[in-house]
Amino acid sequence: MDIRKLSSLLLSFLFLALAFIPCAITTNITTDQSSLLSLKSYTSLSSSHTLANNWSISASICNWIGVVCGSKHHRVVALDISTMGIVGTLPPQLGNLSFLVSLNISHNSFYGNLPRELASLRQLQYIDFGYNNFSGKIPEEISNLENAKWLILEVNQLDGPIPFTIFNISTLQNLVLNNNGLSSSLPMKLCQHATRLKVLRLSYNKLSGDFPKNLSGCSELEQLRLSNNSFDGNIPSEIGSLNMLQVLALGNNDLEEFIVSLGIELASEIPRDIGSLNMLQILSLGNNNLEGIIPETIFNISALVIIRMENNNLFGVLPPNMCSHLQKLEKLSLYTNKIYDNIPKSIGECSSLKHLHMSKNRLNGWLPRQIQNLTMLESLDFGGNSLSGMDNGALFLIVLHS
């Protein structure tokens, strides 16, 4: 073939290939402007709304309210229109903001489905769509957000399963999906890729299935909030290895494990290793089917502010030095269990206590006079026990509910 014809043919192929290269290469600030004007057109803004006149082609997009442009490439890198009373849906053109790093549209009245085109925002690190009215399923394509660190979709009307692929985002640090209608289970290898996860908030959904295992891979986890779902199975002892954990909220589930051996069923207990969580501030295990003795090691966690283990089948006695380390404890809720024997005198050392609820147990003996040292108390309930009165006749006004 003639060399000139070959060159011409190769050049034709080159032009054809360039025509199919993604438009992200040729996008510019005009593309960003068009995308945001599309967003504006999908909303119902009154003529007096801040964005109605401010988002106008008569002004530079980098001067629009809520818009931040990069200093080097002059492209939109952040959009924050949170808490602006906006009603509307999201256009697919939002996926053309290819330089976007932060997107916050929380506390508005956006509704409809989450557009799949959002998955094109590969630079996005912070996403907050919380406190809106979004519905439908979370798109599977969301796992394409390979740089995402914060993904917040709390307090919406989302349903369906949580895409397991979300947990393949290795950069993910905060996953906040509480207060939706999400269902199904969680992956057993939740922490295989999401090793940097710090906050996992999935409370108030319809999630079910076994409590997730292999959590030790999430060694940086600070908050684990799975309350008000329908998880079952046992609480894995490996939770005790999460040394950074500050909040453990598992209340209002069906947590128990039945180990079938020679026909005997044993209900699960609180793992003793939980006492090694020395940074734990909130421990919420109420309203489950937990049995066994409350591990004494819990009372050694000096960072605890709230202990909630009400409405279980926990039994045993409270350790005599239960408050020796709990100087920050503000709420202790152990009502409706099977705790027996005396109330330890060290209760008076929990000097920060505001709420002490231990009704409907099997406590007996005298109320220790050290209770009068709890000057911060706002509510106190020992009703439904077999207490004899106040030790040494100390003058302290207590209402014992019958």
**pLDDT of the chain, 402 residues: tens digit per residue:** 555 554 454 444 444 443 444 443 456 899 999 999 999 999 999 999 999 999 999 999 999 999 999 988 889 999 999 999 999 999 999 999 999 999 999 999 999 999 999 999 999 999 999 999 999 999 999 999 999 999 999 999 999 999 999 999 999 999 999 999 999 899 988 999 999 999 999 999 999 998 887 888 999 999 999 999 998 878 887 888 899 999 999 888 876 533 222 232 234 678 888 888 899 999 999 998 888 889 999 999 999 999 999 999 999 899 999 999 999 999 999 999 999 999 999 999 999 999 999 999 999 998 898 999 999 999 999 999 998 876 544 334 444 443
Contact 353, 328 (CB under 8 A): no
pLDDT of residue 16: 42
DSSP letter assigned to residue 65: T
Q: Which of 293, 345, 341 is nearest to 324 (CA)?
A: 345
Tens of pLDDT, residues 54-98: 999 999 999 999 999 998 888 999 999 999 999 999 999 999 999
Contact 347, 332 (CB under 8 A): no
Domain that holds residue 28: 24-184
Contact 249, 227 (CB under 8 A): yes
Let me know if residue 349 belongs to a domain. Answer: no
Tokens of 33: 């402007």
Q: What are phi and psi of 117, to 5 degrees?
A: -60, -20
For the chain, the domain total comes to 1
Give the span between the Cα atoms of 367 and 301, in whole angstroms.
Answer: 25
Let me know if residue 144 belongs to a domain. Answer: yes
Q: What is the CATH number of the domain that holds 92?
A: 3.80.10.10
Give the span between the Cα atoms of 115 and 142, in whole angstroms.
Answer: 10
Tokens of 31: 């593309």
pLDDT of residue 291: 87
Which of helix, strand or coil describes residue 340? strand
Of the CA atoms within 13 Å of residue 130, those in its CB half-sphere come to: 15
Q: What are phi and psi of 39, to 5 degrees?
A: -60, -45
Contact 102, 77 (CB under 8 A): yes
Let me know if residue 114 belongs to a domain. Answer: yes
Let me know if residue 352 belongs to a domain. Answer: no
| Neighbour count for residue 285 (Cβ, 10 Å) | 26
pLDDT of residue 262: 24
Which of helix, strand or coil describes residue 228? coil
pLDDT of residue 15: 41
Q: Angle 158-161-167 (CA atoms, 0-180°, nearest 5)?
A: 105
Let me know if residue 220 belongs to a domain. Answer: no
Angular region, 112: left φ>0, alpha ψ -120 to 50, beta rest:
left
